[in-house]
Amino acid sequence: MKYKKIEKNNYNLHIIKTNRFKTITVKVNFKRKLVKEEITKRNVLVNALFESTAKYPTRRLLEIKTEELYNLGYHGVNYASGKFTVFCFEMSFLNPKYTEKSMYDESFTFLRDLIYEPNVKNGAFVQENYELAYNTMHDYLKTLKEDTNLYSQIRMMEEMDDSLISYRHCGYLEDLDKINSESLYSYYKDIIENDAVDIFVIGDINPNEIEKLIDKYFSFSHNCKLNESHFYNHQTIEKEERFTKEKVDKEQSTLVLGLKIDPLTDFERKYALSIYNYLLGGSTESNLFKVVREENSLCYYITSSCQPLINLCIIKAGINAKDSNKTVDLIKKELKKIVQGDFDITKITNAKETYLNSLVELEDNPDNIISLYNGMEYLDADDIKTRKKKIKEVTKEDIIAIAKKVHLNTIFLLEGSDLDEK
């Protein structure tokens, strides 16, 4: 696998040459600083752009065209990356060496149409297709509370802080009502003309040929480049915990704990934090799983996740509401035990093995490999060889140092009825 970064005046091209796959995958990222009021617009825009184009004005016509292109796959997503937001266009097509040489041009033409030729009339998205995109987003936001796993985490983060960590990355109903087909098209043009752009291409490819194709089909003459760090550090870390709850028309309750993390060293963020999370609640042999679920039977599930981009640890458990205090007490004890170094050292070894195995699996998927180089570009992540070496250097002392930087801040209970207990 060979990687080449080509720095153009207004964008970066990342080419990953490998013969592991019969497909060629292309991702075009448009990136800008995260703004709360723009989140909903970007999410609706994903729906609008992938619903139709000027050349293929219905979803069915788009699908027919992809069938003609040997089942070309296409996908769009908008996601948060710390202090930034990224709008991604993606396509994957069979390498033309297995089909026809013309498929290079036809496939890149299709992607160009998705990006540059939206279904627009008189300075606005065509109303029928805009309404489809709008209604998809409206229905999703209307039923958000039904997804108790996601909703409980959103609510915890809103209670925790009023900074960017509290933003609902799924969007807001009140912001949706402020959008129309004209304003959405105006915002689309702003993204295309001004966002920072990175293009990633992976496959058994000729880098020079790919560069010529990109130059032929894409133009980024006005786009900027952004070098600011994606990582967010908390302005304040409160010493006192806050507790809130909200009723939900479900039997099971969801308990979510938010823990702010002090600024981390580069090594802690990239490696030690992952091992700490595995030990705490990120695996079935974790301390929380063993103590809270297996030994005390206080939850249906319990897990932890760490988000180094925003220096946050989240612990989530499915419980009966009556057991919330006991569950919180046990979680606090397990957090304290790690600070004191009271944990099985063999779990660190197991965590490292799991990490190394994930790196092996990473190389089996083109999307994952692009994510690797995406992380190297945006987050200063290390390459696979370096990761394999560095993860082995994590010690028990590193885990204790991380644990001392983790502070319980917010406890949120999405309280169900516990009907199964009555």
The pLDDT, as a whole number, for residue 257 is 98
Q: Could you give the CA distance from residue 397 to residue 179 in angstroms, rounded to a whole number? A: 52
Render pLDDT for 369-382 as a digit per residue (tens, 0 to 9): 999 999 999 999 99
Render pLDDT for 30-48 as a digit per residue (tens, 0 to 9): 999 999 999 999 999 999 9
Render pLDDT for 79-97 as a digit per residue (tens, 0 to 9): 999 999 999 999 999 999 9
Domain for residue 246, yes or no? yes
Indicate whether 344 and 407 sit together in one domain: yes
Indicate whether 128 and 251 sit together in one domain: no
pLDDT for 24 beyond 90: yes
Pairing of strands 242-247, 406-415: parallel
Number of H helices, E strands in the chain: 16, 13
- Name the pLDDT band for 422 (thresholds 50, 70, 90): very low
Mean pLDDT of the chain: 95
The pLDDT, as a whole number, for residue 419 is 57
Q: What percent of the chain lies above the pLDDT cut of 90?
A: 92
Pairing of strands 11-17, 23-33: unpaired
Q: Under DSSP, is residue 22 helix (H, G, I), strand (E, B) or coil?
A: coil
Indicate whether 172 and 35 sit together in one domain: yes
51-72: average pLDDT: 96
Q: Could you give the CA distance from residue 321 to residue 251 in angstroms, rounded to a whole number? A: 9
The pLDDT, as a whole number, for residue 418 is 76
Alpha helix (H) ranges present in 281-345? 287-288, 324-339
Render pLDDT for 382-418 as a digit per residue (tens, 0 to 9): 999 999 999 999 999 999 999 999 999 999 999 998 7
Sign of CA dihedral 114, 116, 117, 118: positive
Alpha helix (H) ranges present in 195-320? 207-217, 266-267, 273-280, 287-288
Instruction: Please identify, among 200, 217, 234, the residue that sits at the C-terminal boundary of a domain.
Output: 217
206-231: average pLDDT: 92
Backbone angles phi, psi at 130, to 5 degrees: -60, -40
291-304: average pLDDT: 96
156-176: average pLDDT: 95
What CATH number does the domain containing 330 carry? Answer: 3.30.830.10
Render pLDDT for 181-193 as a digit per residue (tens, 0 to 9): 999 999 999 999 9
Q: Single out the residue of 280, 323, 276 nearest to residue 299, CA to CA.
A: 323
Domain for residue 231, yes or no? no
Indicate whether 326 and 367 sit together in one domain: yes
Indicate whether 246 and 212 sit together in one domain: no
Domain for residue 223, yes or no? no
Q: Single out the residue of 1, 43, 46, 51 nearest to residue 21, CA to CA.
A: 1
Phi and psi based region of residue 122 (left: phi greater than 0; alpha: psi -120 to 50; beta: remaining) = left
335-345: average pLDDT: 96
The pLDDT, as a whole number, for residue 421 is 46
Domain for residue 226, yes or no? no
222-242: average pLDDT: 89
Indicate whether 208 and 325 sit together in one domain: no
250-264: average pLDDT: 96
Q: Transcribe 63-111 into DSSP letters.
A: HHHHHHTTS-EEEEEEEEETTEEEEEEEEEEE-GGGS-TTHHHHHHHHH
Indicate whether 110 and 204 sit together in one domain: yes
Q: Could you give the CA distance from residue 91 to residue 76 in angstroms, rounded to a whole number? A: 9
Render pLDDT for 98-148 as a digit per residue (tens, 0 to 9): 999 999 999 999 999 999 999 999 999 999 999 999 999 999 999 999 999
Backbone angles phi, psi at 161, to 5 degrees: -160, 165
- Name the pLDDT band for 292 (thresholds 50, 70, 90): very high
| Count of domains observed in the chain | 2
The pLDDT, as a whole number, for residue 240 is 87
Indicate whether 7 and 156 sit together in one domain: yes
Q: Does the predicted TM-score (pTM) go above 0.75?
A: yes
Indicate whether 203 and 249 sit together in one domain: no
Indicate whether 272 and 188 sit together in one domain: no
The pLDDT, as a whole number, for residue 224 is 87
Indicate whether 57 and 201 sit together in one domain: yes
Q: Under DSSP, is residue 40 helix (H, G, I), strand (E, B) or coil?
A: helix
Indicate whether 201 and 345 sit together in one domain: no
Contact between 105 and 36 (Cβ < 8 Å): no
Residue-number span of the structural domain to which 181 is assigned: 2-217
